Amino acid sequence: MCGVVGTLIFDSGNDRVDAGLLERMRDTMTHRGPDGAGIWISNDGKVGLGHRRLSIIDLSTTATQPMSNEDDSLWVSFNGEIYNHADIRRELEQTGRHRWKTDHSDTEVILHAFEEWGIDCLQRFRGMFAFALWDTRRRELWLVRDRIGVKPLYYSLHHGKINFSSEIKGLLEDPDQERAVNEEALFHYLSFLTTPSPQTLFSGIRKLAGGTWLRIRASGEMEERRYWDALTHAQPLTGISDEEIAERVLAELRIAVNLRKVSDVPVGVFLSGGIDSSTNTALFSEGEGGPVKTFSIGYRGQYQSYENELNYARQMAGEVGAEYHETLLDVDDLINFLPEMIRLQDEPIADPVCVPVYYVSKLARDNGVVVCQVGEGADELFWGYPQWKTALMLQKMDDLPVPRFAKRMALAVLRGLGQQGSFRYEWLRRGAAGLPIFWGGAEAFTETQKQQLLSPRLRKQFAGRTSWEAVAPIRKRFDENARDPSTLNWMTYVDLNMRLPELLLMRVDKMSMGVSLEARVPFLDHKFVELAMGIPQSAKTRNGTLKHILKKAVRGLIPDELIDRKKQGFGVPVYEWFFDKLGVYARKELDFFCSHTDYLDREQVFRLLDSGNGPQAWYLLNLALWWKQHVYR
């Protein structure tokens, strides 16, 4: 796991890459790669690559980056892991056409795979990655993000060049980079707690979407293409018993976990005590010579909105004889961490779980672990959220042959009752408009609430618009490619394309890399995702049981008590903390934000704070702190 940065100056310009600037851009990400650093600049000064290294596979100096192939015709700066690199290397060696510099570097495999198969080499890679590759012969720069979007990659076009980086802070080091708010992205942020790709909250800075590559020729000509989609590779598992599906799920997950054990440094597991992390722990422990190291987080005190799960984590650790580590947090830990959280986020990731993810990552790093497996993705693939059950029911009701005018009448009744700000009204409004009920697994504010929160200027600017604009391209791909266009497949698909890569995986990447820890995600192995996307809705939702198939697959692997207990997500007691010091802190920061900007309506913001809605207040606080640190001058 590393940090990637670079610049391509287009042929029409006379400038050359500034080595000093490139190094400063690179070193904003020292936390991503404390083990080494390098830069390479082409002879004509038009291309520069930088790299910060966190040594995971092949710790030798021959594996440093930027790295070239044997004749220096290809150069790469790479962040991530290619888990099946050894198999690909053996295939390449059999051709007799490649000379190797390293013993077993996965970075070098990328170079020779590109030599052999061109950009189609991506179809062979099983891993998480974001990389920049410069082809000196064709004078083309390739920017690539892995299929699911586990690793981020940002870029910006200005002043006759393109800059790119694993983190936005690298791009901001360029004095020519504008620091301004992307108001359209702000509009969508208020819906989704994050900004959907390709936008960021910075005007002029974009992020590459998962499963896509961007080719930039030296002339400045650009082409972007999606090279993978979960729907086009899914094989419907119709006519197959639940027992056989469960067997396939466990077999494929076991492969995914084993692949993610590949490392030349110590590896551990984040353990919450839920099904996902407990399954990771059990599978990881198989075949290990010693106890696996597990890491858990909890809170001091008791809270109604979030109950500690540490007793379940301890139970699972005991089942496999793990070396168990835990730490407890309180509101002071959260407040003290906020400035660093905003710095690491680069743009708002308005999920308070960023806080415990950072502290559990630090706990692992402090105990000598450099790589950890995490459980993201299982809920989205296997119908694991209670609110998804509600959304599925609502969509079935909306699909009934009810005339659209009747829905509009129901909307009028709710308006008369003053309910137009509720999610009930929002869902009915979507149905009346012929749109899906479900727009994503994390929604901050309804469209009505957003219009109330926006300043009069932005209220006028976005009148008549909704954040369906950000979802519509995803829906178009779904309608074109889904062999099984079920409601549940849609719900999984939209979260695979938005919430997971831009919120959940982004929080894991930014917070874990903040302490130089690599996080790996077995449930989002692309082969496992393709298998899960082929499971019929009826099998996943059998008897109304959340995670029916996954529970069936892992029963006997982990204790029944962990499988059958009530679902509880990984959370933070922000509701209670907003009645404590966090509320005082938020009022001060939001007052400053509203006094110095023209984005939100101050009266509505403080009405929200007075209502005691801690989670929604957190979304606005995240925005205010981001603006103050990155935009305010």
Asked whether the beta carbons of 202 and 180 are under 8 A apart, the reply is: yes
Structure tokens at 399: 């699909």
Lateral strand order in the sheet of 161-165: 36-41, 47-53, 2-9, 161-165, 154-158, 205-207
Task: Please tell me the predicted confidence (pLDDT) of residue 585.
Answer: 96
Over range 480-498, report the average pLDDT: 97
Q: Kindly report the number of other CB atoms within 10 A of residue 180's CB atom.
A: 12
Task: Please tell me the predicted confidence (pLDDT) of residue 171.
Answer: 98
Over range 321-339, report the average pLDDT: 96
Lowest mean pLDDT among 117-131, 163-177, 505-519, 567-581: 567-581
Listed in sequence order, the residues at least 6 apart from 486 whose beta carbon sits closer than 8 Å to its beta carbon are 536, 537
Task: Please tell me the predicted confidence (pLDDT) of residue 193.
Answer: 96
Map tokens 């995490």 to a residue: 374
Q: Is the pLDDT of residue 1 over 70?
A: no
Task: Please tell me the predicted confidence (pLDDT) of residue 364.
Answer: 98
Residues 256-305: tens digit of each pLDDT: 999 999 888 889 999 999 999 999 999 999 988 789 999 999 999 888 77
Average of per-residue pLDDT values in the chain: 95
Measure the CA–CA gap between 622 and 602, rounded to whole angstroms: 16
Task: Please tell me the predicted confidence (pLDDT) of residue 100.
Answer: 93
DSSP-derived 3-state class of residue 536 = coil
Task: Please tell me the predicted confidence (pLDDT) of residue 563.
Answer: 96
Per-residue confidence band for 226, with pLDDT thresholds at 50, 70 and 90: very high
Instruction: Count, in order, helices (H) and strands (E) of the chain.
Output: 29, 17
Residues 66-123: tens digit of each pLDDT: 999 999 999 999 999 999 999 999 999 999 999 999 988 999 999 999 999 999 999 9
Amino acid at 389: K
Q: Is the pLDDT of residue 581 over 90?
A: yes
Task: Please tell me the predicted confidence (pLDDT) of residue 606.
Answer: 97
Measure the CA–CA gap between 17 and 361, rounded to whole angstroms: 36
Per-residue confidence band for 333, with pLDDT thresholds at 50, 70 and 90: very high
Q: Is the pLDDT of residue 57 over 80?
A: no
DSSP-derived 3-state class of residue 130 = strand
> 158 forms bridges with which residues in the sheet?
161
Q: Is the pLDDT of residue 566 over 90?
A: no
Compute the C-alpha angle 465/470/472, nearest 5°. 95
pTM of the model: 0.96
Residues 582-633: tens digit of each pLDDT: 999 999 999 999 999 999 999 999 999 999 999 999 999 999 999 999 999 7
Q: What is the DSSP letter of 181?
A: B
Per-residue confidence band for 517, with pLDDT thresholds at 50, 70 and 90: very high
Task: Please tell me the predicted confidence (pLDDT) of residue 418.
Answer: 82
Asked whether the beta carbons of 535 and 252 are under 8 A apart, the reply is: no
User: Rounded to 5 degrees, what are φ and ψ at 120?
Assistant: -65, -10
Q: At what angle do helices 423-432 and 386-398 cross, to 10 degrees?
A: 40
Over range 339-344, report the average pLDDT: 97
> 68 forms bridges with which residues in the sheet?
75
DSSP-derived 3-state class of residue 86 = helix
DSSP 245-290: HHHHHHHHHHHHHHHTT--SS-EEEE--SSHHHHHHHHHHHTT-SS
Structure tokens at 132: 């920049």
Task: Please tell me the predicted confidence (pLDDT) of residue 288.
Answer: 81
Q: Is the pLDDT of residue 41 over 90?
A: yes
Q: At what angle do helices 505-513 and 354-366 cross, to 10 degrees?
A: 40
- The residue among 401 and 170 whose pLDDT is bigger is 170
Radius of gyration, alpha carbons of the chain: 24
Measure the CA–CA gap between 148 and 495, rounded to whole angstroms: 11
Asked whether the beta carbons of 133 and 40 are under 8 A apart, the reply is: no
Task: Please tell me the predicted confidence (pLDDT) of residue 415.
Answer: 86
Asked whether the beta carbons of 155 and 143 are under 8 A apart, the reply is: yes
Give which of 438, 440, 447, 444 is closest to 396, Cα–Cα.
438
Task: Please tell me the predicted confidence (pLDDT) of residue 14.
Answer: 78
Residues 536-555: tens digit of each pLDDT: 999 999 999 999 999 999 99
Structure tokens at 254: 């076991």
- The residue among 8 and 288 whose pLDDT is bigger is 8
